[in-house]
């Protein structure tokens, strides 16, 4: 397939390229970049992207594809459909499947299923411990050799400090990060939402910010002790941001991510008891949200990741205390954050694009997230002016669980190109492309 993407504003955070250039794609590769390229006559399709932003393919560093074991909520194929619909050319699959990804067979299975789907690239993340039980280190060498790009017990904290220390030591052999789910379960206990005024008003048991911050502090100290690479998943509090800043100033090897819902919503959204607002970590206070936004704008938090957690409708349609935590976020991540940070808070598009490209690529050692002649043609094209309403029923994901259904946002992906193939155009996925 041959395409000439013409007339767009090309933004590449790695080279700081920001020019109205054209991009030629052939044989799955970028073959030419530059101004005023002339269309070729031999079957090349001209794609007008005037008024749009052409960026390196977006990478979502934190998604739950549910397969194997929980296919009623999502499959690798439907997750990949949701990914390209949301403008993502690559996603990183968390290991909390059934069985969990604590062995090479599951890692290999995920890679094969993703290849069969022929849509987004999928990079598996292996478990830190066997069964994600926090007791015995998984065979990290085997996971790495099978294709894991990081390890995490996401959904479960590694409560034993000695085990976490060994994980941070062993992963240095392979040069991969440990992705930490920072939660002190003694403090979070049976909490349902952020501990604050709204929890009191709504009569729901609260989770203090310190439940996250205590574990962030511990893991930072262990990273300092070991010299290992630590990545903090879904940070949600101002205190965590302060700890992250201090650690970076001390030279500790730590990176972090924030989610669209923690950038957009506060704990006030829980009024009405919509279980689609139930997430872990919980939606926090206005002050916390402001701190997370500032850290993303600054680049202290270098990744935005959806934490896509789809659930079947019947699972979410329960009492608040019974419903599972999580939001189906792949298809709304880009417009939520674009509208919140670029449109409303005037963050530069180049900087936000970096949080989805060079940021996750650096964390996970991926040779992705930039534009150059000769590399795989993975592109995300955004219409920064497109204002559209979220329609959860039209999601490609099996999960329709979103707290922003019916809300309008500005700045939507309109074209997703993976390895030179257009897999999404104007919100519609070409499901027959393999």
Q: Please tell me which residue in 102, 184, 219, 307 is annotated as part of the active site.
A: 307
Residue of 70, 218, 221, 95 lying closest to 147 (CA atoms): 95
Q: For residue 109, what are the CA distances in angstroms to 35, 76, 112, 128?
A: 43, 10, 5, 18
Q: Does residue 307 carry a catalytic annotation? A: yes
Q: Determine the Cα–Cα distance for residues 3 and 16; give it in Å rounded to an integer.
A: 24
Distance CA 153, CA 101 (A): 10
Q: Are strands 9-12 and 17-20 parallel, antiparallel or unpaired?
A: antiparallel
Phi then psi for 163, rounded to 5 degrees? -65, -45
Please name which of 11, 41, 45, 7 lies closest in space to residue 25, comparing C-alpha atoms: 45
Full DSSP string of 25-64: EETTEEEEEESSPPPPSSSPEEEE-TTSEEEEPEEEEEE-
Instruction: Work out the number of other CB atoms within 10 angstroms of the CB of residue 273.
Output: 16
Angle at 405 (CA atoms; ends 313, 303), nearest 5 degrees: 95
Strand spans (E) along 126-168: 151-152
Q: Measuring CA to CA, which residue among 197, 259, 233 is closest to residue 402?
A: 259
Coil, strand or helix at 421: strand
From the list 351, 426, 428, the residue with the least C-alpha distance to 396 is 428
Q: Count Cβ atoms within 10 A of the Cβ of residue 240 and give its class: 0-12 exposed, 13-18 middle, 19 or more buried.
A: buried
Residue 15 burial (10 A CB sphere; 0-12, 13-18, 19+): exposed
How far apart (Å, rounded) are the C-alpha atoms in residues 285 and 94?
27
Q: What are phi and psi of 358, to 5 degrees?
A: -65, -35
User: What is the pairing mode between strands 2-6 and 22-26?
Assistant: antiparallel
Instruction: Report the candidate in 182, 181, 208, 183 with the shortest Cα–Cα distance to residue 196.
Output: 208
Active site residues: 307
């Amino acid at each position: 397939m041959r395409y000439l993407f013409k007339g767009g504003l090309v933004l590449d955070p790695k080279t700081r390229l920001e020019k109205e250039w054209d991009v030629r794609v052939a044989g799955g590769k970028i073959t030419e970049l530059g101004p005023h390229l002339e269309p070729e006559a031999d079957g090349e399709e001209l794609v007008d992207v005037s008024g749009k932003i052409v960026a390196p393919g977006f990478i979502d560093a934190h998604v739950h594809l549910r397969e194997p074991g929980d296919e009623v909520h999502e499959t690798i194929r439907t997750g990949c459909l949701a990914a390209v619909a949301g403008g993502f050319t690559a996603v990183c699959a968390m290991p909390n499947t059934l069985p969990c990804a604590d062995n090479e067979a599951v890692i290999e299975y995920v890679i094969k299923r993703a290849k069969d789907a022929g849509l987004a690239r999928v990079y598996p993340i292996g478990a830190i411990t066997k069964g994600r039980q926090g007791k015995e280190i998984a065979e990290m060498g085997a996971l790495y050799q099978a294709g894991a790009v990081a390890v995490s017990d996401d959904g479960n904290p590694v409560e034993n400090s000695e085990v976490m220390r060994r994980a941070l030591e062993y992963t240095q052999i392979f040069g991969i990060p440990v992705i930490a789910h920072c939660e002190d379960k003694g403090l979070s206990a049976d909490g349902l939402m952020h501990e604050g005024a709204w929890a009191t008003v709504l009569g729901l048991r609260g989770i203090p910010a310190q439940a996250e911050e205590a574990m962030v502090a511990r893991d930072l100290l262990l990273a300092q002790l070991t010299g290992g690479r630590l990545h903090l998943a879904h940070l949600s509090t101002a205190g965590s941001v302060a700890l992250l800043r201090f650690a970076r100033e001390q030279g500790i090897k730590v990176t972090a991510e924030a989610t669209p819902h923690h950038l957009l919503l506060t704990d006030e959204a829980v009024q009405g008891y919509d279980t689609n607002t139930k997430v872990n970590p919980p939606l926090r206070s206005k002050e916390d949200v402001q701190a997370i936004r500032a850290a993303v704008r600054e680049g202290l938090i270098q990744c935005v990741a959806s934490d896509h957690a789809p659930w079947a409708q019947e699972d979410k349609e329960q009492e608040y205390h019974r419903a599972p935590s999580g939001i189906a976020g792949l298809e709304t991540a880009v417009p939520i954050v674009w509208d919140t940070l670029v449109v409303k808070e005037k963050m530069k598009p180049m900087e936000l694009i970096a949080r989805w490209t060079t940021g996750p690529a650096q964390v996970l050692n991926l040779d992705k997230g930039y534009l150059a002649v000769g590399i795989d043609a993975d592109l995300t094209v955004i219409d920064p002016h497109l204002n559209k309403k979220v329609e959860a029923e039209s999601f490609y994901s099996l999960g329709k669980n979103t707290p922003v259904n019916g809300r309008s946002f500005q700045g939507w992906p309109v074209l997703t190109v993976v390895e030179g193939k257009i897999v999404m155009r104007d919100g519609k996925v070409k499901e027959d492309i393999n």
